Amino acid sequence: MTKSGLGPAGGGSPQLDGLLDVPGLLALVGQPDVCILDCRYDLLRAELGLEQYRQAHIPGAFFAHLDRDLSGVKDGGNGRHPLPEPQALVTRLRSWGVRSTTRVIAYDASESSFAARAWWLLRWLGHERVAVLDGGWPAWLAAGGPTSTREPVAEPGDIVRRPALQATVSLESVVALVQAAQSQSRPQGSAAAAGPARRIVDARAPDRYEGRNETVDPVAGHIPGAVNRFWKLNLDERGRFKTPEQLHAEYAAILAGLPADVLVLQCGSGVTACHDLLALHLARLPGAALFPGSWSQWVADPSRPVALGPAPG
């Protein structure tokens, strides 16, 4: 796989395969059937990304707001950034001109933490031709890429929902997983017959995972049994994704010989967990699932157990 993501895919046709570099996007700006999404956002200032977009953005880019476009309606128990209703997301993508053949490229200014959510959502809808701009807006500016203040208007697209390319795990399934692990109710040897147990991976920073610092959600700590893989570990010192080989080796250490489809990824609200899922995709470790509600949904019910401190071992 090339880091530009423009190498041949199945059937020999060019594909964007998860990651696109700045030269790759420069070649696509202004081309037909290409949709660029500006996903800049700030958790503490929700409208900052839109303000920045209006000041300057990659030519032809549409603004995708995390709260309004890339998330659904909160009900107090489904987390801070619940998944959007699929048809509502399809309608929004159509308004940006996205068709079944469109190449979609997402970028942000936060080390791809929000762009990865857009990448995951497109694949959740079954759209394969989607990538994240490696290095995002800072890399674009550093390379002297052109900018614009013009907000584009697109001919309506015709994207439809297809079989999902990314899996989800429900709150009920995570509750059952934690309860089973805590009760240790399986007879000796039954796990082998049932297949390997799911493994929860928390993408938040270690201080939040351990419960030492929590400034976003009302309860500190982590889901019992979850291991920690901070999403920023997917990046090198420049803020670009590590090579597929590096990512494969690092996630293989977490998997310890198990297939990637045992992994359940979560974070605070189901956003930065998508960064880990993109890294797994780049590492050619398919099948991991997202717990969309993540920690913010888990702690919405005070009866659910909470763990503190580092992971054992």
Give the pair of three-digit tokens for residue 307. Answer: 């763990």
Question: Tell me, what amino acid is at 92?
Answer: R
Instruction: Compute, in degrees rounded to 10, the torsion defined by CA atoms 110, 115, 120, 122.
Output: 170
289 close to 264: Cβ distance less than 8 angstroms:
yes
- Helix, strand, coil proportions of the chain in percent (round to 5)? 30, 15, 55
Task: Give me the residue spans of the domains in the chain.
Answer: 10-142, 167-298
pLDDT in tens, 80-105: 999 999 999 999 999 999 999 999 99
The domain covering 10-142 belongs, at the CATH homologous superfamily level, to Rhodanese-like domain (3.40.250.10)
Could you tell me the pLDDT band of residue 12, with boundaries at 50, 70 and 90?
very low
Distance from chain centroid for Cα 237: 20
Could you tell me the pLDDT band of residue 1, with boundaries at 50, 70 and 90?
very low
Task: Tell me the residue length of the chain.
Answer: 313
Residues annotated as catalytic are: 267
Tell me, which fold does domain 167-298 have in CATH? Oxidized Rhodanese; domain 1 (3.40.250)
Could you tell me the pLDDT band of residue 114, with boundaries at 50, 70 and 90?
very high
Average pLDDT over residues 47-51: 98
Question: Tell me, what amino acid is at 215?
Answer: T
Look up the pTM and report it: 0.91
pLDDT in tens, 122-147: 999 999 999 999 999 999 999 999 99
Question: Tell me, what amino acid is at 289?
Answer: A
Q: Does this chain's domain 10-142 share its CATH topology with 167-298? A: yes
pLDDT in tens, 153-203: 999 999 999 999 999 999 999 999 999 888 764 444 443 334 568 999 999
CA-CA-CA-CA torsion sign (83, 229, 165, 135):
positive
